[in-house]
Structure 1
Amino acid sequence: MSNLQNGFLLDDETELKTLLFEGEQDHLTPSTSRLLLESDFFVVAGRIIGHSFLNGGPCLVGLSQGIIHVLFGGEPETATVTESDCADQDVREVIRMLQGTKDLSEEEKSVVLSLTLPWDLPGVTVNNRHWLQEKILLHAVLERTAQQVKQIRRGLKDTGVWEFFSSRPDAVPVLFPRASEAEITPQMVIDNINWPKDEDIDEDILSLDDHCLIMSFLRRFIENGTSDILKSLLTFWTGWGVVCSNLEVEVIDCSLPQSSTCFLTLKLSKNHKNYEDFHQDLMASISSAYSGFGQI
């Protein structure tokens, strides 16, 4: 899901990530890459989204509302599409050009025509200017991604979740949340930690005062963490960046923080005496989650 959200590394030589979804946050649309489409990547994307949801994992955050509308059976003509949904900056420039009221120069008309002609749309005239602007936007956002959306739908159907959400439009934001709805707050994490009780602490290994000191460092780290840092912490802690109930934490004799993701257990070093060292080591550990645990 992280790769789906942030891009896949398909070319080791260039080390450039390939985005399946492009654009602004909360206005993401499927890539128009023919290679991705012909490789059925978006079918795979639909399956990933469906299986992650069924297993309580992270969701794809920030998908365009127009894309979501069509994905679950809505007509393109009734979709709400804005300029922010258009990931192509060149198309945006043409749309802005048509939004104005000043007469277009012959050069500007030529720029518009070079875009509309391949899409079987006419050139701009005085009478069709605003109509053409809407048609270009609709084509750029929904018509160019129609096959990609069909593939995502196929993938969701393979997992059995499409039928439910297509019949329950009120529940669709659970599957495709907005960015603000997917943010993780410090209190969400703190409320789901099973903090060790005094009687559970083995004072032959660590004194109660030192144990409480490490727990205070963890609480401070969480309280000061951004949503992105907390997602990285949870990914290191549990295997994915969503809040789980019954998060466990232990203090052990180790050089760097460790985790047992299957048991939702974060293992902190007993050797930290100040917060600065604790913060540095925990940041080093959670940054290794995407490359392999412990590969620092």
Structure 2
Amino acid sequence: MDLRDTPADRERAILSFYKMANIDWACPLSCTLKGDPAIGDGVMRHFFETIMSKIQHGFEINFMPGGTLLFEGEKDHLIPSTSQLLFESDFFLVAGRMMGHSFLHEGPTFAGLSPAIMHVLFGGSPETTTIEIADCADTDVRDLISMLESSKELAAEDKTKITELAVSWDLPALTSQNRMWLHDKLLYHAVIGRTWKQVKQLRRGLKETLIWPLLTERKDTIPFLFPRSSDMQFTPEMILEKVNWPVHNEDSEVNLEDQCRLTEFLRRFIENSSSNILHVLLRFWVGWSLLPRYLDVEVVECTFPKSNTCFHLLKLPGHYKEYLAFEKDLLAAVWSTDSGFGLI
């Protein structure tokens, strides 16, 4: 990956790699970042964090206005985009390969997929899928379907809109007798019917990475590949319990007073940070937003915070006297990972 390219060009390079046919995704992976001196495991972590972030939050390539979002909806109810262009471009095949490839290398996974989609993805009958109204990503369609749940008399305008939606999906018009039946059919089509081809393409991509037998024979592994969003939230306590705080000795680059002040600043930063900020801090610290067995800290003589991701090592400059100045520079550093390893 060339960090000197534009974000869109880097995405094209990633997509070109994952569109290649007949690749053994289980073989060892070697990653190189052009334009950045970093080498080692940290680069591989950065690569997998990047690709999984694109699947989770969208590509910047403008196949459509506002970017390219592969999965839509609210947390823990995400469903594949119904865009015909994305399907015809094999984006969901690519997404399946990316997910399986990252899983093979113990990398980040995809959080928040709808249980209804997972049921179908792993061979469950579509007719037995439990679908919630929250699984409907299109809010306008959701509002219309929700009207059918109530026994309240509908306005003529609402009846017309529901009938137009039903007819556009080859379903009969709304009547007083088919109200709840039509509710179930519309919800099924909105969540399963319109995404069925995308789910099949996603399944094909996962199968090509050779993790499918594990997922189908050991159902308890599926939550590791598709965790709930709530399971991916970090708390300050989760981070702090992994930190190995520096121990002062005669060879330390900074004196004991500066070392104590900087470690106190870092502790305060972690304790006051949201889950989102802790995610980007961890990504800066180790290369991806997964908790390792340990997190090392070192106070050194340098200008800005930096990290050695291969060794889970965060290096803090010892010159800060005020917390606000430290917080400002650390935030600038952790948000810089898309352009390299702490290059501000």
- The one-letter code of the counterpart of 2:251 is D
Query: Is 1:72 aligned to 2:117, yes or no?
Result: no
Picking from 150, 169, 175, the partner of 1:119 is 169
Aligned to 2:138: 88
Is contact 1:72-1:162 (8 Å) kept? no
Secondary structure of the residue aligned to 1:267 is strand
- Residues 96 and 175 of structure 1, relative CA distance in 2, 3 Å threshold: same
Q: Normalising to structure 2: TM-score of the pair?
A: 0.80
What is the CA–CA distance in structure 1 between the aligned matches of 2:87 and 2:207, rounded to whole Å?
18
Query: Is 1:4 aligned to 2:55, yes or no?
Result: yes
Query: Is 1:234 aligned to 2:285, yes or no?
Result: no
Is contact 1:25-1:62 (8 Å) kept? yes
Is contact 1:59-1:176 (8 Å) kept? yes
Aligned to 1:214: 262
What is the CA–CA distance in structure 1 between the aligned matches of 2:179 and 2:63, rounded to whole Å?
45
Cα deviation for residue 105 of structure 1 reads 4.3
Cα deviation for residue 193 of structure 1 reads 2.3
Percent identity among equivalent residues?
52
Aligned to 1:261: 309
Cα deviation for residue 270 of structure 1 reads 1.1
Cα deviation for residue 170 of structure 1 reads 2.8
Cα deviation for residue 291 of structure 1 reads 3.5
Moved more, 99-108 or 171-180: 99-108
Query: Is 1:202 aligned to 2:251, yes or no?
Result: yes
- The one-letter code of the counterpart of 2:238 is M
Cα deviation for residue 282 of structure 1 reads 0.3
Picking from 71, 84, 104, the partner of 1:54 is 104
Query: Is 1:189 aligned to 2:239, yes or no?
Result: yes
Instruction: List per-residue Cα deviations over 1:37-84 (Å, max 9, x = no partner).
Output: 011111111111112222222211111110111111111111111110
- Residues 142 and 12 of structure 1, relative CA distance in 2, 3 Å threshold: closer
- The one-letter code of the counterpart of 1:244 is P
Matches within 5 A, 1:275-286: 275-286=323-334
Secondary structure of the residue aligned to 1:220 is helix
What is the CA–CA distance in structure 2 between the aligned matches of 1:222 and 1:197, rounded to whole Å?
19
Which segments of 5 or more consecutive residues in structure 1 lack a partner in the other structure?
Answer: none
Secondary structure of the residue aligned to 1:123 is coil
Secondary structure of the residue aligned to 1:8 is coil
Aligned to 2:76: 26
Which segments of 5 or more consecutive residues in structure 2 lack a partner in the other structure?
Answer: 1-51
- The one-letter code of the counterpart of 1:8 is F
- The one-letter code of the counterpart of 1:202 is D
Q: Normalising to structure 1: TM-score of the pair?
A: 0.93
Secondary structure of the residue aligned to 1:84 is helix
Instruction: List per-residue Cα deviations over 1:116-161 (Å, max 9, x = no partner).
Output: 1122111111111101101100110011101111111111111122
- The one-letter code of the counterpart of 2:309 is T
- Paired residues in the alignment total 293
Moved more, 106-115 or 271-280: 106-115
Moved more, 264-273 or 136-145: 264-273
Query: Is 1:98 aligned to 2:148, yes or no?
Result: yes
